[in-house]
Structure 1
């Protein structure tokens, strides 16, 4: 992987892990599985604390989940779902105090590790950098779920490349770990 100008060399080998309770993950999957009047999928936002681990590793700990309100969905037949500025404002307000990472979350359904679509990557590349305007010292990213797995991308700054989560761990009974095993 090529290094971005100004990005520390140590950050290239950073391992990112997200920990979330099994109960919260189940509630998110249930919420995202609800039908919508016109959108083909639902989305929400996680807030998370961030802690540096030994070396360059980073641990994100899920704090809260905020589903996008009905009035913040916008009809757009060119994409599966489109949300308006009100949804982004509410997510940023939730992450402002105490400062938290913001993770846009949605599901592709099915089983196994899901990959981000081209639309997912392009739209995240447009909106994630704006999160740093409000919460500049926290990382921000996106998560995609399946019915039994999860995958994530994280940005450390508005001009940094996204990096994949190494692990997403659902803590509780049963313990689940998604990622490089």
Structure 2
């Protein structure tokens, strides 16, 4: 099965800008995407709906990691994915250029927090994304007890959709 993620380009620019903001003590920022999902048989399509940054007060001091977020941040994230039911994607950046990779800390942390996403929205896939300044890499779990899939394609959508009705009557 392949996984394709689509995101509005303006939202992606906003997210990258947000994730580069300095924090008083954390070395990096964290946020969450919510996304709708379409099962196309041999392919899953994720359509990013929204982004929620982690509030400054929801970071915890831990010099062993770039950023540690507390239970309040996780609670807010899972609440954002509850209604309407949505895929929840933890997102952060490593900066730089080209396809980024996850650190060992990223992968170990995901093993502990991604299963919690399934407690709120068990029928939705959930995952982890890392961004660079021009690319992305992601993992998506279909269930808490299954290994993750790699997100195969990332698509930035920049052209706004416009409706032109012309002189037609819409009855």
TM (norm. structure 2) is 0.92
SS in 1 for 2:60: coil
* Number of the residue aligned with 1:70: 56
1-structure distance, mates of 2:44, 2:103: 25
1:146 matched to 2:122? no
Runs of 4+ in 1 over 3 A off after TM superposition: none
Q: Deviations along 1:114-148, whole A, 9 cap, x unmatched? A: 01110000100110011000000000001100001
2-structure distance, mates of 1:66, 1:164: 23
Please point out which of 94, 112, 116 is paired with 1:108: 94
Any stretches of 5+ residues in structure 1 without a counterpart?
1-13, 174-181
Deviation at 1:56, TM superposition (A): 2.0
Please point out which of 92, 117, 122 is paired with 2:103: 117
1:40 matched to 2:27? yes
2-structure distance, mates of 1:77, 1:130: 24
* Number of the residue aligned with 1:26: 13
Any stretches of 5+ residues in structure 2 without a counterpart?
160-171
TM (norm. structure 1) is 0.87
* Number of the residue aligned with 1:6: none
SS in 2 for 1:46: strand
* Number of the residue aligned with 2:78: 92
1-structure distance, mates of 2:55, 2:73: 7
SS in 1 for 2:6: strand
* Number of the residue aligned with 2:168: none
1-structure distance, mates of 2:11, 2:110: 23
1-structure distance, mates of 2:149, 2:27: 27
1-structure distance, mates of 2:154, 2:103: 19
Q: How many residues align?
A: 159
SS in 2 for 1:144: strand
